[in-house]
Amino acid sequence: MRDSVQLGRVAGVRVGLNWSLLIVAVLLGIGLAGSSLPSNAPGYDSWAYGVAGSLTAIAFLAAILAHELGHAVVARRQGLAVDGITLWALGGMTRIEGEAPSPAGELRISGIGPLVSLVLGLGLGGLGLALGALGWSPLVAAGLAWLGAINLILAVFNLLPGAPLDGGRLLHAALWKHHGDRLRATETVSRAGWILGLTMVAVGFVGFAFAGFGGLWLAVVGWFLMTASRAEQSQARLRHGLEGLRAADLMTPDPVRGPGWLTVQSFLDDYVFAPHPAAFPIDAWSGGVSGVVTVKQLKSVPPALRGVRRALDVAWPLARVPIVRPEQPAIEVAALMAQWPSRRALVMDDDRLLGIISPADLASRHAADLHDDPRRRGPATDLVRRGSQNPT
Ligand SMILES: [Zn+2]
């Protein structure tokens, strides 16, 4: 999830908004001003509901930010780098690099978010109820009571025991401590997250059939959980499979390379016949490597143009391919490969090409001892980005 707008730094953490959040904020504001507030605090002018609804929606976003800042600040205290927080349609996401050093660390990082929501829920809700009981400003009381309730819902929802929800991470910390096996714990909580997501999708569709759009929203959140839990599982397996390895262990050494100045047709004729690799480093006319061309790139050129365009015209130039050293840790290499569109890395010692690493080389390292289902293998995704996600 990308930031569309940067809000600046809060407590030293970069905070951004994704445009999808604006739609949700507007819908929330309209719902509050048009229905929830008038029914709980009748008798005001419509502009008063408009102002109160907008302020309440903004306060709700601030509450989500407080929840995420909790994660970010505690993660920093645990020595982890925090890349930033993004607020988007399904809540907030704190991008924490790497993993908690210990089960106790994970417990603190994950537990603080729901705790913040719980405290806000009790505090704001209590204040709203107190104001209501005293008969002071029923509109403010109704807004506060709504904020209190939504924060309590947020706390409870995030405590559901499936990754990537906070509850899933808390369960992960407990299982990790109990069995001493981090990967096994990840497998369990990602599966739980997937089942939880699937349940929400099913319940959401039934709800949609009988009660309208609220159900559809639940299904969307459930779908997101299913996808995110799968991605986490895959990343954990990959990370486990790469532990202790270096770039040299992953690479295909001395790969077949071809001249970049050949036409696409000549390249296909001379180099791409079965069995062939999915990508070739290409040579520059002046010597040395000038980039990487994939068979897919070559074949994407329409047949009529294949005799005119050169391989290097369609290839990834060297500037867009990560170059790694043979001794570089494999986990770092995988993270780089995930960030670059070419999805391949060249292993070089100064100017000398030693090998190429493809997504397939990484996929084959997925912790195979865990009865890995080959259908689930895929290229490395955001390896170092472990998001803490809080769907609302
Ligand atoms: Zn959280």
Top-ranked range on mean pLDDT: pick from 135-149, 330-344, 376-390: 135-149
Q: What is the Å distance from ligand 1's center to 379 Cα? A: 27
Q: What is the Å distance from ligand 1's center to 88 Cα? A: 14
Q: What pLDDT does residue 366 have?
A: 60
d(CA 281, CA 261): 12
Q: What pLDDT does residue 331 have?
A: 83
Question: Who wins on pLDDT, 238 or 33?
Answer: 33
Q: What is the Å distance from ligand 1's center to 276 Cα? A: 46
Q: What is the Å distance from ligand 1's center to 5 Cα? A: 21
187 tagged catalytic = no
Q: What is the Å distance from ligand 1's center to 387 Cα? A: 10
Alpha-carbon distance values, 218 to 24, 156, 213, 214, 329 (Å): 14, 15, 9, 7, 41
Sign of the CA dihedral running 54, 59, 65, 71: negative
Question: Who wins on pLDDT, 383 or 324?
Answer: 324
Residue 92 host element (H or E): strand 91-97
Sign of the CA dihedral running 184, 190, 192, 194: negative
d(CA 372, CA 390): 28
- The answer, yes or no, to whether the previous bond of 275 is cis (omega within 30 of 0) is yes
Q: What pLDDT does residue 95 have?
A: 86
Fold of 247-363: CBS-domain (3.10.580)
Residue type, 258: G
> Residue 244 corresponds to which tokens in the numbers above?
């202790």
Cα distance between the two ends of the chain: 15
C-alpha angle 347-233-231 in degrees, rounded to nearest 5: 75
Q: What is the Å distance from ligand 1's center to 29 Cα? A: 23
Q: How many other β-carbons are positioned within 10 Å of the β-carbon of residue 229?
A: 26
Q: What is the Å distance from ligand 1's center to 225 Cα? A: 13
Question: Who wins on pLDDT, 15 or 213?
Answer: 15
Q: What pLDDT does residue 325 have?
A: 94
- The catalytic residue among 68, 99, 106, 232 is 68
Per the CB < 8 A criterion, the answer to whether 239 and 383 are in contact is yes
Look up the pTM and report it: 0.72
Per the CB < 8 A criterion, the answer to whether 31 and 50 are in contact is no
Q: pLDDT exceeding 90 applies to what percent of the chain? A: 52
Q: What is the Å distance from ligand 1's center to 220 Cα? A: 18
Q: pLDDT exceeding 70 applies to what percent of the chain? A: 93
Bridge partners of 96? 82, 386
Q: What is the Å distance from ligand 1's center to 19 Cα? A: 21
Q: What pLDDT does residue 391 have?
A: 46
Q: How many other β-carbons are positioned within 10 Å of the β-carbon of residue 23?
A: 10
C-alpha angle 21-171-379 in degrees, rounded to nearest 5: 65
Sorted by where each begins, the domain ranges of the chain are: 5-243+384-390, 247-363
Q: What residues pack around ion ligand 1 (CB closer than 5 A)?
A: 113, 166, 390
Q: What is the Å distance from ligand 1's center to 111 Cα? A: 8
Using one digit for the tens of pLDDT, what is the confidence trace for 137-189?
889 999 999 999 999 999 999 999 988 889 999 999 999 999 988 888 988 99
